[in-house]
Amino acid sequence: MIRVAIVEDDEKDSALLEKYLAEYGKENGEAFSVDVFADPLVFLDKYDASYDIVFMDIELPDMNGMQASARLRKTDEDVMIIFVTNMAQFAVKGYEVDAFDFVIKPVAYNDFAIRLRRALRRLSRRADLGLRVKDYDGSMRIVGITSVYYIEVADHSLKYHTDAGVTESRGRLDDLEKTLEGKGFFRCNRCYLVNLRYVTSVEGEDLVVAGDRLKIARPRKKEFMKAFAAYYGGSA
């Protein structure tokens, strides 16, 4: 799930961007969680560094998009900023706030899709950080974080359930939990550390993760639901 914020005071323009995101997602099998902010001050006051991409208008009330982006950079150096504007002369100054790209209004879908595709490629390279996994022979290998569905501890071994199958290694789940803090993983019980990206449903005391059913420890259920809702942009 790619988390996107649209900071745009024109309802028609923000609705068009939402429509384009939905269209792109349908065409390319991507899932987007989208929040829209008409006021940059509200966006900045509520900002929690959980977004992957921010579409930022230049002409905004109270402060312009460049000013809002400069303030945003003080709390989040990594989020990808894409300016959406009819003022190209300002958009090209995006290097001042390390903006990734810009699109010119009126926004055409093809132009939007090209820039979004580039942004998603950059996100994929950035997000697919590797976990250093120690094999039983002492050798090390890299397992991409985004490929991991969940990690299980069993018989003093760690089992990485991934899109390429199951990999076993030495290690402690407590240590992995610390390593993956803030990267979308949650410890649902003493045996499982799950990637929230792949949780498809919560059914009573069970999670469905990439087709597997895992138990949620009852004392952790409330905390899990809060984390799950926050990951997908809602509230518990």
Residue 196, domain CATH: 2.40.50.1020
Residue with tokens 């792109």: 24
One domain for residues 41 and 95: yes
Of 83, 100, 127, which residue constitutes the final position of a domain? Answer: 127
One domain for residues 43 and 134: no
**Residue 212: its pLDDT value, please?**
96
pLDDT at 236 over 50: no
pLDDT at 235 over 50: no
Reference 189, options 161, 226, 153; nearest CA is 153
pLDDT at 218 over 50: yes
Give the single-character DSSP code of 108. P
At 235, give phi and psi (nearest 5°). Answer: -140, 145
User: Regarding predicted confidence, which is higher, 62 or 39?
Assistant: 39
Could you give the angle at the alpha carbon of 107 between the alpha carbons of 101 and 112, nearest 5°?
50
pLDDT at 20 over 50: yes
d(CA 226, CA 107): 36
Range of the domain at 152: 130-231
**Confidence band of 1 (pLDDT split at 50, 70, 90):** confident
At position 140, the amino acid (one-letter code) is: M
HSE-CB for 56 with a 13 A CA cutoff: 33
**Residue 113: its pLDDT value, please?**
97
At position 5, the amino acid (one-letter code) is: A
**Residue 145: its pLDDT value, please?**
87
At 181, give phi and psi (nearest 5°). Answer: -60, 130
HSE-CB for 81 with a 13 A CA cutoff: 28
**Using one digit for the tens of pLDDT, what is the confidence trace for 108-167?**
999 999 999 999 988 877 655 667 676 776 555 778 888 899 999 988 899 999 998 998
HSE-CB for 3 with a 13 A CA cutoff: 16
One domain for residues 111 and 6: yes
Average model confidence (pLDDT) for the chain?
A: 88
One domain for residues 7 and 123: yes
- What's the pTM? 0.58
One domain for residues 123 and 134: no
Residue 236 resides in a domain: no
One domain for residues 14 and 53: yes
How far from 86 is each of 7, 69, 90, 190, 207, CA to CA, in Å? 15, 17, 9, 53, 46
Of 102, 127, 152, which residue constitutes the final position of a domain? Answer: 127
Number of domains in the chain: 2
Q: Is 216 within 8 Å of 207 (Cβ atoms)?
A: yes
**Residue 217: its pLDDT value, please?**
94
Beta bridge partners of 55: 6, 82
**Using one digit for the tens of pLDDT, what is the confidence trace for 186-204?**
999 999 999 999 999 999 9
d(CA 197, CA 231): 8
Give the single-character DSSP code of 145. G
Q: What is the average per-residue pLDDT within 214-219?
A: 94
| % of the chain exceeding 90 in pLDDT | 61
pLDDT at 38 over 50: yes
pLDDT at 34 over 90: yes
Residue with tokens 């100054």: 93
d(CA 8, CA 56): 7
The helix (run of H) or strand (run of E) holding residue 201 is strand 199-203
Angle separating helix axes 11-28 and 109-127, nearest 10 degrees? 60
One domain for residues 32 and 117: yes
**Token pair belonging to 22:** 């939905």
